[in-house]
Amino acid sequence: MSTAADKRPWVSVRARPRGGAAAVEAVVAALFAAGSQGVQEQGDAVLTQFPPDTDVETLRAALLAADPTADVAISLTAPVDWTEGWKALIGAHDLGGLAVVPPWLAEGRDPAATIVIDPGMAFGTGDHPTTRGVVRLMQGVVRPGDVVADLGAGSAVLSIAAVKLGAARCAAIEFDPDAIANAEENVARNGATGRVTVIEGDARVLLPLVAPVRLVLANIISSILLELMDAIDAALAPDGEAILSGILWDERETMLRAIEAHGWRAVAEDHEDVWWSVRCARRAN
């Protein structure tokens, strides 16, 4: 096992999934399962590093099993002490009236406008364009006293953003049991206990139980979003809106057609790198 004193070169991995958003998620999951301590996304590629004793061929096979069409480049790089070095991958993000920052960069910031997220193993540090897209689109949408549902809540960053923008309460619904403890820690760290409730389970089952809601946030891969659209529509209050993300830019036209078919209209859009987010409202009768 590698240690901080181990001077052998590390294994650097750059994988470019080709199978859409689901493939990106599968490749990232495979990297974490193989032992990655942090994954960085650059455009349509994901990057990480592994210690010197990593079985390169087993790693390559795992990534290609996640996405057989992925481009995988593996090379050697300078040794890294990941006990602290991984923090360099996580930055602070100023997004309009809110900022998303890790704990070690939070000092001196206004707590009312700062969301402090411990990256842990949950998705939603602010380092991903889809998270940033939703936070940008939320501003000016959340009203004082709103009830919000956050589907695929991950780290609960969007739920925390909602209450900092004035929502009375938010249901942070997350299917992955490994993300729940991290989400609850982030809620407490941001003073949102009692306003954000983290709930483990399937959004299709749980969303009707928290309805009606004024705003639904859903940062999930597009195939799941399509499956959830009926449930989202049924859960929204008459003046409700939804912000959808986790969508690749080249999936935009497909999603716009689905939005139209459900009687919604796109009110605003956000596009960063290869990712697209959209704010939706019902069409006026």
On whether both 20 and 53 belong to a single domain, the answer is yes
> Which pLDDT value is given to residue 4?
47
**Count of domains forming the chain:** 2
The residue type at 156: A
Kindly state whether residue 4 falls inside one of the protein's structural domains: no
On whether both 266 and 159 belong to a single domain, the answer is yes
Kindly state whether residue 212 falls inside one of the protein's structural domains: yes
- Determine the Cα–Cα distance for residues 116 and 189; give it in Å rounded to an integer: 7
On whether both 79 and 113 belong to a single domain, the answer is no
On whether both 145 and 212 belong to a single domain, the answer is yes
Residue at which a domain ends, from 86, 111, 127: 86
On whether both 54 and 153 belong to a single domain, the answer is no
pTM of the entire structure? 0.76
Kindly state whether residue 240 falls inside one of the protein's structural domains: yes
On whether both 52 and 175 belong to a single domain, the answer is no
Cβ 243 vs Cβ 277: under 8 Å: yes
Residue at which a domain ends, from 44, 69, 86: 86
Residue 259 half-sphere exposure, CB side, CA atoms within 13 Å? 26
Q: Residue 42 sits in which domain range? A: 10-86
> Which pLDDT value is given to residue 26?
87
Kindly state whether residue 156 falls inside one of the protein's structural domains: yes
Kindly state whether residue 3 falls inside one of the protein's structural domains: no
On whether both 141 and 175 belong to a single domain, the answer is yes
Angle (CA) 91-199-233 rounded to 5° is 95
On whether both 77 and 162 belong to a single domain, the answer is no
Kindly state whether residue 5 falls inside one of the protein's structural domains: no
> Which pLDDT value is given to residue 84?
58
Burial class from Cβ neighbours inside 10 Å (0-12, 13-18, 19+) for residue 221 reads: buried
CATH number for the domain that contains residue 276: 3.40.50.150
On whether both 278 and 140 belong to a single domain, the answer is yes
On whether both 56 and 95 belong to a single domain, the answer is no
Structure tokens at 159: 């739920």
Q: CA-CA distances (angstroms) from residue 18 to 71, 143, 195, 262?
A: 8, 39, 39, 29
Kindly state whether residue 120 falls inside one of the protein's structural domains: yes
- Determine the Cα–Cα distance for residues 76 and 49; give it in Å rounded to an integer: 9
Q: Measuring CA to CA, which residue among 167, 203, 206, 170 is closest to residue 186?
A: 170
Range 138-142 contact pairs with CB under 8 angstroms and sequence separation of 24 or more? 138/162, 138/165, 138/215, 138/217, 138/243, 139/95, 139/96, 139/97, 139/98, 139/165, 141/215, 141/241, 141/243, 141/279, 142/166, 142/167, 142/215
Residue 46 half-sphere exposure, CB side, CA atoms within 13 Å? 23
On whether both 72 and 155 belong to a single domain, the answer is no
pLDDT in tens, the chain (285 residues): 444 455 788 899 999 998 777 788 889 889 988 988 777 777 778 888 888 889 999 999 999 999 999 999 999 887 655 555 556 667 788 999 999 998 888 899 999 999 998 876 555 667 788 999 999 999 989 999 999 999 999 899 999 999 999 999 999 999 988 889 989 999 999 999 999 999 999 999 999 999 999 999 999 988 899 999 999 999 999 999 999 999 989 999 999 999 999 999 999 999 998 899 999 999 876
Helix 157-164 / helix 180-189 crossing angle, nearest 10 deg: 30
CATH number for the domain that contains residue 24: 3.30.70.100
Kindly state whether residue 15 falls inside one of the protein's structural domains: yes
Residue at which a domain ends, from 86, 112, 139: 86
Question: Residue 7: left if φ>0, alpha if ψ -120 to 50, beta else—which one?
Answer: alpha
- Determine the Cα–Cα distance for residues 267 and 72; give it in Å rounded to an integer: 38
On whether both 69 and 97 belong to a single domain, the answer is no
